[in-house]
Amino acid sequence: MTRFLDWLANVNFARLNYILIPDTPEDLDRARASWAGRYIGRPVLWLYGALSREGRVVFVLAMFVIIGSLDVNQSSNHMLASLLAGALVASLAARRWFAMGDVSLDIEAPSRVTAGHEVQVRIKLTNRGPRTYGALQLERPFLSWDGSWMGPPLSMDGLPAHHAHTLQTRARFDARGRHYLDSFVVAEALPMRLALGPGRRSNGTPFLVVPRVAPVDHLRLSMIPRFQPGGVPLASKTGESSELYGLRPYRRGDRLRDLHARSWARTGKPVVREYQQEYFTRVGVFLDTDLSDTSERAFEAAISLAAGIVLHLSRGEALIDLLVTGDELHALTVGRSLGTFEQALDHLACAQPGPPFDRARTLGLLTPYLGRLSSVVLVVNHWDPPRQRLAQAMRTRGVAVKTVVIGDSPTAVGRDLSHVSIEQLEGDAGLSL
């Protein structure tokens, strides 16, 4: 019973409510092309789109009135039902004369959105034709289980000929990952405002919801430079040991002392020397994706912490290797012109729960990176013997290890071991690890 209650506490009922609704454009197209989509979904969606917001209320009211008027001998409700049904049918029959001609919709939305934050979506309506349209209604697309529209529905009093108008709306998404914003639809309302004319649709808009970044203010970490076999070519020399990597065309901001006079004289264009550094600090941020004994909330907190650690480290001179486990190791190098923090957020946005933790398997995946790392930050949800042996195996290879354990149960705290609760990661207070 206790195990069932624990499972029930971790169930995301919001996601279960949308289990039959496609998440991706490809799944949506397959659903529309299926038998149910063609013969059931298409008529229902056509009726929903053909009726205005007021018309949908009248339609539901008419259904109740029709049910209550089945016994014509005991009630006169059938007269009201006939009136409502007649108004709806007349409006639907007349909608063909209210089609929108040379009107286009352009959607402006950011390609990257932070989970839990509101995002502004701009809808630009452009009327390139000679006709002036009356009252318009703009339908926002249906969102995924984690999304919600903010603010009232969109409408306009009219759109003059050869005129453009921009509307704004806000949305919020709570789950990381790739998302897709389906088409917006604008249509002209008929005189009784029960139906809409054939409308114009916008293109779909893909975007990425990235994790929230935990506020990491301080991280106690060993930062001893290590030799990098083959070196790493850098855009600028920062005073550490370096070797000549080659020549390249001059770019604004290059040091004058790096100009190569002979090549400049030979080609007629300024050329500079490019260096690669042999020794510098390199930090690995390892994210444990084992979700077998923890909650989805704790997993999202771990991803948020990993993003905060990468941001904190990227403010310095070290290279950061973001290492995300799963069925295989997904690695990304950030810093020193090799990668950006935005790329790291994109990397973490697509992180998925992996198989149960296996020390030997994880060590085998990390071994190719350990020889060049100065230190490793382990972000884990448990501090059990297998993970302790993994940290010890890294130390025997000369790599300093800093472990951050996430969860509600306290654990020992020291220079190389820190504990952070989920509530701390979800708050705005700065973290000292």
Averaged pLDDT of the chain: 82
Based on the domain organization, do 284 and 417 belong to the same domain? yes
- On whether both 221 and 367 belong to a single domain, the answer is yes
Query: Which residue, among 49, 186, 182, has the nearest Cα to 104 in the 3D structure?
Result: 186
Q: What confidence score (pLDDT) does residue 181 get?
A: 87
Q: Quick check: is 11 in a domain?
A: no
Residue ending a domain, among 210, 242, 261, is: 210
Residue 363 and residue 382 in one domain: yes
The tally of domains found in the chain comes to 4
Q: Do residues 206 and 179 make contact, with C-beta atoms less than 8 angstroms apart?
A: yes
- Are residues 142 and 128 part of one domain? yes
Q: How far apart are CA 323 and CA 328, in angstroms?
A: 10
What pLDDT score was predicted for residue 30? 80
Is 287 domain-assigned? yes
Q: Are residues 49 and 113 in the same domain?
A: no
Neighbours of 224 (CB within 10 A): 10
Tell me, what's the pLDDT at 383?
A: 87
In the chain, the percentage of residues whose pLDDT exceeds 70 is 83
Do 346 and 329 share a structural domain?
yes
CATH number of the domain that 348 lies in? Answer: 3.40.50.410
Q: How many CB atoms lie within 10 A of CB 139?
A: 19
Question: Domain for residue 358, yes or no?
Answer: yes
Q: Is the pLDDT of residue 345 over 60?
A: yes
Q: Are residues 169 and 316 in the same domain?
A: no
Q: Read off the CATH number of the domain in which 121 is found.
A: 2.60.40.10
Whether residue 310 contacts residue 320, with contact meaning beta carbons closer than 8 Å, is answered with yes
Question: Higher-confidence residue: 423 or 31?
Answer: 423
Q: What pLDDT does 1 receive?
A: 59
Query: Are residues 330 and 426 part of one domain?
Result: yes
Domain presence at residue 382: yes
Residue 6 maps to a domain: no
Residues spanned by the domain of 262: 232-279
- Do both 135 and 186 map to the same domain? yes
Neighbouring CB atoms inside 10 A of 371's CB total 13
Torsion on CA atoms 336, 425, 210, 218, rounded to nearest 10: -10
Domain boundary among 53, 72, 97: 97
Note whether 158 and 295 are same-domain residues. no
Query: Are residue 206 and residue 141 in the same domain, yes or no?
Result: yes
Q: What is the pLDDT of residues 163-198, one digit of tens each?
A: 999 999 999 998 888 888 888 999 999 888 899 999
Does a structural domain hold residue 1?
A: no
Tens of pLDDT, residues 19-75: 666 766 777 778 777 887 787 878 888 888 899 999 999 999 888 888 877 776 766
* Whether 87 and 104 share a structural domain: no
9 is a domain residue? no
Last residue of a domain, one of 97, 124, 151: 97
Q: What is the mean pLDDT of residues 273-288?
A: 73
Q: What is the pLDDT at residue 236?
A: 43
Please indicate, yes or no, if residue 77 is contained in any of the structural domains.
yes
pLDDT digits over 86-124, tens only? 889 998 999 888 888 888 899 999 988 999 899 899 999
Q: What percent of the chain has pLDDT over 90?
A: 18
